[in-house]
Amino acid sequence: MSISFDNREDAGRILAQRLDRYAGRDDVLVLGLPRGGVPVAGEVARALGVPLDVLVVRKLGAPGQPELAIGAIASGGVRVLSHDLISQLHVSESRLASEVEKQREELERRERQYRGDRPFPDLEGKTVLVVDDGLATGSTMEAAVKALRQHGPRAIVVAVPVAPRHVSAGLLSAADEFIAIYQPPDFMAVGQFYRRFDQTSDEEVRGILAAHPH
């Protein structure tokens, strides 16, 4: 696959071109998934002239394979599990419960880091653009969409620079609209489509949020 983005900011500027019909609308809000989705979301919000905020979601990693998602949790007590994968990997209930508790503590820490005392935005009747730097299994984004449904938005649009083809179809049923710039047949990892894919820090996330209206 020869197509790639320079970095997350570059991906955000390109993604914003696909979302230009939402520009300047007072009923639109961009939510980035920390950490890596926030630089992408920041560029989308800047280009569209709409507010930016974050939705904290945590992947549940498989035992011994933390990068392999067996589910995800999100704000509001939402939990999404890949039951087939959990069964296939023989993940016990106690190991799963331990991972859920560990990620819940990190979720709460990040919410304090990024939002402080500021409440979660009012999404009632809004069109919410949920942005990440890419999708692999889709479980994290599925948890994000389920969490957002509890807040009564008018529509949820999932927008990412890249995603595998099999994930896209599944997310279409969870979100009102799914937008991906590239859906390559040879997808292996999100990072393969970026020339620079450095880890985003908490400080970078806070800086991006501070530079945008909420």
Cβ atoms of 144 and 153 closer than 8 Å:
no
Q: Retrieve residue 171's tokens.
A: 């997310």
Tens digit of each residue's pLDDT (9 = 90 or more) over 26-38: 999 999 999 999 9
What is the C-alpha to C-alpha distance for residues 181 and 159, in angstroms, rounded to an integer? 8
CB distance 134 to 161 below 8 Å? yes
pLDDT (tens digit per residue) in 127-178: 999 999 999 888 888 889 988 998 999 999 999 999 998 887 778 788 999 9
> Prior bond to 35 cis, omega within 30?
yes
pLDDT in tens, 180-212: 999 998 888 999 999 999 999 999 999 999 998
Q: What are the chain's domains? A: 8-56+119-210 (3.40.50.2020), 59-113 (3.30.1310)
**Distance between CA atoms of residues 173 and 156, nearest Å:** 11
**Euclidean distance between CA atoms 33 and 208, whole angstroms:** 13
**pLDDT above 90 (res 24):** yes
Q: Which two tokens stand for residue 148?
A: 């957002």
Query: Looking at residue 20, what is its pLDDT?
Result: 96
pLDDT at position 143, please?
A: 85
Mean pLDDT, the chain, whole residue set? 91
Confidence grade of residue 3 (pLDDT, cut at 50, 70, 90): low
Decide if pLDDT at 75 tops 90. Answer: no
CB-based contact 103:73 (threshold 8 Å): yes
Indicate if the pLDDT at residue 101 is higher than 70.
yes
Task: State residue 30's pLDDT score.
Answer: 97
